[in-house]
Structure 1
């Protein structure tokens, strides 16, 4: 039986990684991305930058899930470990799926799954890209067990339908925001981990709004999130304008926030859908 090729790194706990409620989702995604970069260097012998410069391909995030398994308190541990457990090449070699686990004192406290679409680069200074497949020179470096021919079943649209059908809508809100450079990655488009901060900001604005006063929603500000699920469908680039819409549902006694982000500079294209479950 072939062992999975993994990478692990241990980090010190510091105050910036936590809110008073839980471990920052944005930090978890940052460590997950770093694990992916490390995995490529260790097991495939290529950095992300070399993928671009030598193989004319890159990766863009199309989805992820964060599942908080148990509460981890800032004062509980001094260190934590981030492990990229396994990697799968999916969908006719056009998509990569990464499975991450975070542990402290040997116990799991978060699991993260990230999905990245392969894009072929045109080679101009703007890094123009089109959907593609893993180039053969890199594909042959994966183990057979890491190549999964089964199609990827999108779960988030089903969750959205369930929420909108079975849930009770309490309140909604929207606002516009410009994407600034501190929210961008190297291609001057939004860094996907910033979505967790964008929707958290929107959640708090809606909870604190006048329209939610009649509902017992203020308790949410002190509750830890149990799960975050997101899909990205359109990029947002530097200084483009976004419209963020948030809908607050009660689904079987559980508060659920459904967020949709639109790119107003691209004919109001749906850029991302995010679900926060408490």
Structure 2
């Protein structure tokens, strides 16, 4: 595994909001890039799961947009470059995905993934594991990183310094359906990031909130998204999303923080931070 995967995708309207490429569209393409890396350099992911009893789950997501924002009228094609690395122990994978419209950089996504051993081939239940040695050796030395580097990057606390509160915390309850999930009826990472964006945008329709907070929720492009997946949730689970919003300490941006919980319990299963331009 010595070369990145490079491919192009035609752009279409549902990948955009009026402000920029939607995060869900970029993270879906990141998943595509990951699948291509596996198929080209290791084995296709279906074979990884069913023939090698190995699966992977996303633990953290970093998505950074590069200004100026790419809008629908700006480009017809998006170039994607995906590069994969592994921990020396084979317990972690990392994928970096760069997006370009011609010579114009648009965004970068970085995923940290935990390798699992499939315990039940029917339900796809799995437990922490590692890549089989015969697959790990396909990563050259310069594409292997220390185990602790991956573990540390998978641990995220508060990534932004926040200042004044924009609104009182808001809670929203919903049910995960198969539109939120992947083949094992476990949540899909990019659909859950989309769920967090939905929790922010729905604030616009709450008339009791301050007008400036409602406008901030929908009126500015996203600059950065960070997501930390801690405990999985599954189809038909009830989930509570608690959203807080603050100005940053500099006042130049706004941070929306979403803690996604099970219907009962205090510890979040997922935390998502969105950094937006201040309006």
TM-score, length of structure 1 as denominator length: 0.91
3-state SS in 2 of match to 1:203: helix
Deviation at 1:269, TM superposition (A): 4.3
Aligned residue number for residue 79 of structure 2 = 81
Partner SS, residue 74 of structure 2 = coil
In the TM superposition, what are the counterparts of 1:1-278 in structure 2 within 5 Å? 4-44=2-42, 46-70=43-67, 71-84=69-82, 86-90=83-87, 92-149=89-146, 151-152=148-149, 153-154=152-153, 156-159=156-159, 162-163=160-161, 166-171=162-167, 172-213=169-210, 215=212, 217-251=214-248, 252-253=250-251, 254-264=253-263, 267=265, 269-278=267-276
Hey, which bits of structure 1, 4+ residues long, moved more than 3 A? 214-217
Aligned length: 269
1:54-96: CA deviation from partner (whole Å, max 9, x where unpaired): 1111000111111001210111111111110x22212732111
In 2, the alpha carbon distance for the partners of 1:271 and 1:90 equals 25
SS in 2 for 1:116: strand
Normalized against structure 2, the TM-score is what? 0.90
Distance 1:53 1:76 in 2: 42
How far is 1:19 from its partner? 0.7
Q: Is the 8 A contact 2:193 2:227 kept in 1?
A: no
Seen in structure 2, the aligned counterparts of structure 1 residues 76 and 178 have a Cα distance that, compared at 3 Å, is: same
Q: Alpha-carbon deviations, 1:4-34, whole Å to 9, x = none?
A: 5211111111111101111011111111111
124 and 42 in structure 1: CA distance in 2 versus 1, 3 angstrom threshold: closer
Cα RMSD (Å): 1.8
How far off is 1:156 after superposition? 2.9
Gaps of 5+ in 1: none
Go from structure 1 to structure 2 and tell me whether the alpha carbon gap of 1:12 and 1:215 turns closer, same or farther (over 3 Å shift): closer
Cα displacement (A) at 1:210: 3.3
Change (3 A) 1:199 1:91: farther
User: What secondary structure sits across from 1:23 in the alignment?
Assistant: coil
For residues 91 and 28 of structure 1, what CA distance do their matches in structure 2 show? 28
Q: CA deviation at 1:146?
A: 1.1
Gaps of 5+ in 2: none
